[in-house]
Amino acid sequence: MGMKDRVQPPLLTFGYGSRSEEEVLALLAHHGVEYVVDVRSAPWSRYRPEFSRDRLAQSLRSKGVGYLFMGDSLGGRPDDPSCYDEEGRVDYGSCKRRPAFRQAILRLRTAWQAGHPVALMCSEGRPEDCHRAKLVAATLVEAGVGIQHIDERGVLRSHEEVLDRLRGPQTALLEDPSLLTKSRGKYRPAVSA
């Protein structure tokens, strides 16, 4: 079987959510993940210190899993004020135009094409609640990268399934277009005129 005949494994995403550190490590081992890419803007947790950047990196290394922080370029709460609308919601279209974001997407695409078993990690257990699905994975899918999301129950979901879960039973006529283009929360104060 030549390189062209090889089936490309998907790039995975997951959120630690309510999982314990041991459950996350077991999940990664089960899926053969060798590299975790942290896409949190703030890679620490006051309530879950085991998932703070340094401690998590050490735990992953002890299991032979590499850790890479990319939240500065792929995070859901960028430092760039131009990525926020007038209501303070993150505008994913603006994020996608940032050179750092595009470079990070290219890096992930290259890793996927080389066959590296990579999983993107954030804090939200449900992928449809997280920018990793609506921003990062959506951009990767547009670039031809195969994506599978590990949901809050450990079930592998296609990107389309996650988008269907996000949309819910709404018909296309009633669907709120911002579901896929903006953050749910407001993270910056509204700009006053």
**Placement of tokens 């620490």 in the chain:** 44
The separation between CA 140 and the C-alpha centre of its own chain, rounded to angstroms, equals: 10
The Cα–Cα gap between 154 and 12 comes to 12
The Cα–Cα gap between 159 and 178 comes to 18
C-alpha atoms less than 13 angstroms from C-alpha of 53 in its C-beta half-sphere? 12
The per-residue pLDDT for range 67-122, each reduced to its tens digit, is: 999 999 999 999 999 999 999 999 999 999 999 999 999 999 999 999 999 999 99
Instruction: Say what the pTM is.
Output: 0.88
The amino acid occupying position 148 is Q
* Residue 39 contacts residue 69 (beta carbons within 8 Å): no
The Cα–Cα gap between 93 and 88 comes to 14
The Cα–Cα gap between 132 and 126 comes to 10
Q: List b or e across 9-28, with b for residues whose CB sees 16 or more CB atoms inside 10 angstroms.
A: ebbbbbbbbebebeebbebb
Q: Copy the structure tokens of residue 52.
A: 């703070």
The per-residue pLDDT for range 114-134, each reduced to its tens digit, is: 999 999 999 999 999 999 999
CATH 3.40.50 fits 8-160, yes or no: no
The per-residue pLDDT for range 2-14, each reduced to its tens digit, is: 455 567 899 999 9
